[in-house]
Structure 1
């Protein structure tokens, strides 16, 4: 196409805020998938689900001889109830990889299998400097963390009477805020910022009536944080772009206002030609971008490659600071991720 596609900033940010406000730790994504289905329907996009519950959306292209896969994951970090203690608190087990001190003092929700939801706070078992001499140095690890429930409970039996049991999911409050300066700070921008960017692409196509060069298959995966989100992908995909957060820190050049283009992660190098085309397009569009290598990182594309899929793959996404903790990105990075994807699928 000769005319650049302009994403709808308000749509993307409003949908992102809705995503962030919807709990969805890995394995507990049924509610947010209903949201994805409703949004796809409103845009006139066909929706289906794989057996794991991930969403598959399709957008017909001018040439159906090739299919391009675009993936982002809607599952997040979280926890589950490991046991109910005799003190009436909840021992936890992690869902996904995060630092225990990053969730200390965080508000949370306990989701019971009966549908009841209770609130609580995640604390160390030595939470007060007025009581415990080692409170400052006490090691933050799973066995030393618990959930204090906001109910009148004094012992294990009191908790069990609430209907809380082992295996119930615990979601962390996202606390999503979009600042006047354009920053988006929240838990779970990994990877809901990228899901919003993909829906920005779909909304633009629906609103402006443009058609991609080839058929597009969107996979909104729901087990990425535990490693197998896109191990299976729909048949016939020739190349796949995973859209996931760009990391920031020492030895990395990505900023919160950049689109990250990952050349290599823990799964190895990404496709040379696809990566080169993305770099070329970002440069021609004047999109601030960074090419980085992430040795402690895996994506949906990594899972797809390890799953034996016969594809070429690339990885891009908005730069995110403090990943797997209290994250922050900038709206510019999210909008520009949509712009770059639009250029790739139409040129």
Structure 2
């Protein structure tokens, strides 16, 4: 039996999209939205915007960023094993041992493995375990004898390593935010297939620089409200729901709009959607740069479950289901007020 949402997630994960190298991902999402009958525009940065006019003039934006973490070739030493610089904020410990692809300026794709500088126990003994967890202690072992085409500034994308277990756990890098995109596309396509019209006019925003901090900063024009769709953090002392959708009340950027969050909670309660409310301590969403840019909008955020965020991430099929249900209810029924 096919699973359209998981099929979409597989397709998204197969497209490398570190910040700065998102054109292929943007093309794929724009094509899906266009086939659903939505009007598409692209920003100068390459972000995607899709518009769906609803029954009211109130315009709500729903944002799901296209870019992921990644790396870039820094110094290229004589050894032929280049240093790496992180794209976005993530720990070097989650890069060690990863298989990766280098996208060169000449169009070649060269495979390799990210290793600590002391990678052989037979050579370095216990010193292997005493190395620092830092990006300047990593190098990329390239699977080629000819490294002439690999230069400073080339992009590096790590393999997602997707595994879906029979009992519904989904393990992969870059679930942030490709699982969110899959949920949003699924909700839009379900609404279109049912022939429904959204209550409010909608702008679906797909920024391409969230992982480096600017996200939807240039995309909030014409909106009354902006709802970010991203990860919710599964970790000790967090209240994010492992099999439901999480409403984010506050993050590092401050509290989200109380009335919008309450309206989203009422949708969950009305439709029996499994949910929780959480506060995220080390987290920003697409809404924060939009408000910093001066946008006069109300903001909210929702998230699907994500364990080990910005590392070896894991979510559940159940959480993606409930996230999609809330998005579909939001599209169909709208928020409280006009």
| Fold conserved between structures, TM > 0.5 | yes
Aligned counterpart, 2:277? 291
Q: Specify the SS of the correspondent of 1:126.
A: coil
C-alpha separation between the residues in 2 aligned to 1:286 and 1:125?
A: 52
Conservation of the 8 A alpha-carbon contact between 1:107 and 1:119:
yes
TM-score between both structures, scaled by the size of structure 2: 0.95
Q: Match for 1:79 among 45, 65, 71? A: 71
Matches within 5 A, 1:6-21: 10-21=3-14
C-alpha separation between the residues in 2 aligned to 1:281 and 1:209?
A: 21
TM-score between both structures, scaled by the size of structure 1: 0.93
Instruction: Give a deviation string over 1:53-72, Cα, whole Å, max 9, x none.
Output: 11101112112x21100000
Instruction: Give a deviation string over 1:224-262, Cα, whole Å, max 9, x none.
Output: 000001111142100011000000112112233121111
Q: Match for 1:251 among 230, 237, 254? A: 237
Matches within 5 A, 1:46-195: 46-63=39-56, 65-132=57-124, 133-152=126-145, 158-160=146-148, 163-195=149-181
Conservation of the 8 A alpha-carbon contact between 1:77 and 1:225:
yes
Conservation of the 8 A alpha-carbon contact between 1:317 and 1:334:
no
C-alpha separation between the residues in 2 aligned to 1:116 and 1:338?
A: 38
Shift of 1:346: 2.5
Q: Which moves more between the two structures, 293-302 or 252-261?
A: 252-261
C-alpha separation between the residues in 1 aligned to 2:41 and 2:73?
A: 31
Instruction: Give a deviation string over 1:47-88, Cα, whole Å, max 9, x none.
Output: 11111111101112112x211000001111100000111111
Aligned counterpart, 2:200? 214
Segments ≥4 residues shifted beyond 3 Å: none
C-alpha separation between the residues in 1 aligned to 2:192 and 2:266?
A: 27
Q: Which moves more between the two structures, 260-269 or 300-309?
A: 300-309
- The alignment covers a number of residue pairs equal to 331
Aligned counterpart, 1:5? none
Q: Which moves more between the two structures, 286-295 or 321-330?
A: 286-295
C-alpha separation between the residues in 1 aligned to 2:241 and 2:259?
A: 24
Unaligned runs of at least 5 residues, structure 1: 1-8, 153-157
Query: Alpha carbon RMSD of aligned pairs, Å?
Result: 1.2
C-alpha separation between the residues in 1 aligned to 2:277 and 2:323?
A: 14
Q: Specify the SS of the correspondent of 2:196.
A: coil
Conservation of the 8 A alpha-carbon contact between 1:67 and 1:237:
yes
Instruction: Give a deviation string over 1:78-112, Cα, whole Å, max 9, x none.
Output: 00000111111111110011110111000000001
C-alpha separation between the residues in 1 aligned to 2:197 and 2:232?
A: 28
Aligned counterpart, 1:6? none
Shift of 1:10: 2.2
C-alpha separation between the residues in 1 aligned to 2:151 and 2:301?
A: 39
C-alpha separation between the residues in 1 aligned to 2:78 and 2:104?
A: 19
